[in-house]
Amino acid sequence: MDYGESKDFSRALEAAYRLLAYKQRSRKELISRLQRKGFPEEIIEGVARKLETQKYLDDEAYGQTLARSLIQRKFLGRDAVRAELLKKGLDVEVVKKITEESYIELDEGDLAIQALEKKWKTLKGRPLEVAKRRASDYLRRKGFPWSVIRKVLVDKIEI
């Protein structure tokens, strides 16, 4: 079906452009927003395909940008980044590729230390075992695997 002449298609496309001008979104997020605006499914799908051919909608590029931001700003570990990308509606294989690429040159131990620096100041006055347990819980919530947490708490924490 040719949507070029359809007023609904033009309105949906304009709405999509406005949504993408505000912030980059995944395909699933954009489709969800257009559905909430009441556009028909076939129109939404046509808009999504057109935006993908124009490179305005690219889940892999969006995922790479989001992963980089989560790592640099929030110091999140691999598991938390993976969960955030999946929550945004990205394909499992795309998420796997992005997380692998994002952590190739990163030392997760150093990233965990950066994440823990501010938190450790509040834990210093506590008994060592309590502080380590809370630090461990904190790093787990930040998405770091146990192997990294153990290494950071054993090797890196200065008393």
Write out pLDDT tens, residues 99-132.
999 999 899 999 999 999 888 888 888 898 899 9
What mean pLDDT comes out for the span 87-94? 96
pLDDT of residue 5: 59
For the ranges 2-6, 86-90, 128-132, the lowest mean pLDDT is seen at 2-6
* Cα dihedral across residues 32, 33, 35, 36: positive or negative: positive
Distance of alpha carbon 45 from alpha carbon 68, whole angstroms: 29
For residues 149 and 157, the answer to whether their CB atoms sit within 8 Å is: no
Determine how many CB atoms are found less than 10 A away from the CB of residue 65: 13
What mean pLDDT comes out for the span 45-49? 96
Q: Read off the amino acid at residue 128.
A: L
Smallest Cα–Cα separation from 143: which of 72, 63, 82, 73?
A: 82
* pTM reported for the whole predicted model: 0.85
